[in-house]
């Protein structure tokens, strides 16, 4: 047995136990790719070394409250920044950077106090990133107030510019979290005016102020809310494009949920899982209607024809004047 390798693993297990309130054996098996028997042996080695490990019945393992190598000096803002950084780095394309950032962050989190671990865990459920996110995409500065509002469950007032308007309107909202989609950041929040959940583009929020009033209702985590919303509104689309023109579609197709393609001598068949409104996809596709066709679902062709006929009618009316 490689003693050095085992010592390094046991040390990592210790840092992991200090970084979270509870760690399951399943999580340890998955992270270190070891057997259940090896996990128990490593945990026993930590106990022999004087680490007070507690077996949380039915939950997992933790380190006894009050025990840590050093006191925590992290502020609420620093914890929030670390959480955002972790979410962003999980999307990093360089595996080396992602892997070692995660290892470093585990060591940092190991010095958190119990209430800070709970705050960090809660904040993890307030940011939702899709696969098209890039680590250098701009995140507006108001993020700290919005995420603190979700953590403290305080109603927040925002001054918001709606699409097509130039003046702001006030809204009292209960922020659930933020998500990144189609190259833009959004706030998902319960709007008191509409009595329903709404998305607000962060770049259109011009002012934000956390109030003293508490949330009026309990909200689901943003991941649960977004995953359900996306699955309910998902539409599978298949289009066929003349191969020599297919490159014109490459720039924007990710926005509409592009998932793959099949290339033949004359055509390229592209597949989409589109979560945007039907009309959005059709209006994008209409630019290529002379070199492409919608194969599935066929009812999109009705939308296409209706838009094109309306456009031709407008042009003919202008000619008649």
Which secondary structure element, helix H or strand E, spans residue 318, and what is its range? helix 300-320
Q: Give per-residue pLDDT as tens, 260-298.
A: 999 999 999 999 988 777 888 999 999 999 999 999 999
For residue 120, which of 154, 89, 74 has the smallest C-alpha distance? 74
CB 204 within 8 A of CB 160: yes
Domains of the chain, start order: 1-67 (1.10.10.10), 73-231 (no CATH), 234-320 (3.30.70)
Low-confidence ranges of the chain (pLDDT < 50): 1, 71, 137-138
Output the pLDDT for position 97: 57
| DSSP conformation letters of 141-170 | TTHHHHHHHHHHTEEEEEEE--TT-SS-EE
The Cα 127–Cα 118 span in angstroms is 16
Under 8 Å between Cβ of 125 and 222:
yes
State which H helix or E strand residue 130 sits in: none
CA–CA–CA angle 195, 148, 177 (5° rounding):
50
Q: What's the pLDDT at 64?
A: 82
Helix or strand holding residue 240 (H, E): strand 235-242
Peptide bond into 131 cis (omega under 30): no
How many degrees, rounded to 5, is the angle at CA 88 between CA 87 and CA 91? 100
Angle (CA) 13-17-23 rounded to 5° is 100
- pTM of the predicted structure, to 2 decimals: 0.48
pLDDT in tens, 163-204: 778 889 999 999 998 887 766 788 889 999 988 888 898 888
Residue 195 burial by CB count (10 A; 0-12/13-18/19+): exposed, middle or buried? exposed
In degrees and rounded to multiples of 5, residue 221 shows phi and psi of: -60, 150
| Nearest C-alpha neighbor of 284 from the set 300, 263, 261, 264 | 300
Q: How far is CA 169 from CA 156, 162, 193, 205, 216, in A?
A: 14, 8, 11, 10, 22
**DSSP assignment string, 95-120:** HHHHHHHHHHHHHHHTT--HHHHHHH
Instruction: Describe the crossing of helices 3-19 and 36-48 by its angle, rounded to 10 degrees.
Output: 80
The SS3 of residue 129 is strand
Q: Residue 182: CB partners within 8 Å, gap ≥ 6? A: 132, 255, 276
**Residue 43, both tokens:** 């945990």
């Amino acid at each position: 047995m490689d003693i050095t390798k085992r010592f390094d693993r046991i040390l990592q297990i210790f840092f992991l136990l200090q970084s979270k309130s509870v760690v399951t054996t399943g999580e340890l098996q998955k992270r270190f790719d070891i057997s259940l028997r090896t996990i128990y042996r490593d945990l026993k080695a930590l106990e022999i070394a004087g680490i007070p490990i507690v077996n949380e019945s039915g939950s997992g393992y933790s380190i006894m409250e009050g025990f840590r190598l050093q006191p925590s000096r992290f502020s609420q803002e620093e914890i929030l920044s670390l959480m955002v950084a972790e979410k962003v780095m999980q999307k990093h394309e360089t595996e080396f950077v992602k892997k070692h950032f995660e290892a470093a962050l585990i060591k940092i989190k190991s010095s958190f106090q119990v209430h800070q671990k709970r705050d960090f865990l809660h904040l993890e459920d307030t940011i939702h990133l899709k696969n098209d996110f890039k680590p250098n995409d701009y995140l507006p500065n108001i993020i700290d107030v919005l995420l603190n509002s979700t953590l403290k469950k305080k109603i927040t007032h925002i001054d918001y510019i709606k699409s097509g308007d130039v003046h702001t309107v006030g809204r009292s909202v209960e922020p659930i979290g933020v998500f990144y989609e189609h190259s833009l950041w959004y706030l998902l929040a319960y709007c008191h005016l509409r009595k329903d959940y709404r998305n607000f583009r962060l770049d259109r929020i011009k002012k934000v102020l956390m109030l003293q009033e508490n949330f009026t209702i309990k909200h689901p985590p943003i991941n649960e809310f977004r995953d359900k919303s996306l699955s309910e509104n998902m539409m599978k689309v298949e289009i066929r494009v003349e191969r020599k023109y297919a490159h014109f579609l490459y720039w924007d197709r990710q926005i509409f949920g592009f998932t793959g393609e099949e290339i033949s001598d004359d055509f390229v068949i592209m597949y989409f899982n589109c979560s945007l409104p039907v009309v959005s996809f059709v209006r994008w596709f209409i630019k290529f209607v002379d070199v492409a066709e919608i194969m599935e679902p066929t009812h999109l062709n009705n939308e296409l024809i209706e838009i094109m006929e309306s456009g031709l009618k407008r042009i003919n009316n202008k000619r008649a004047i």
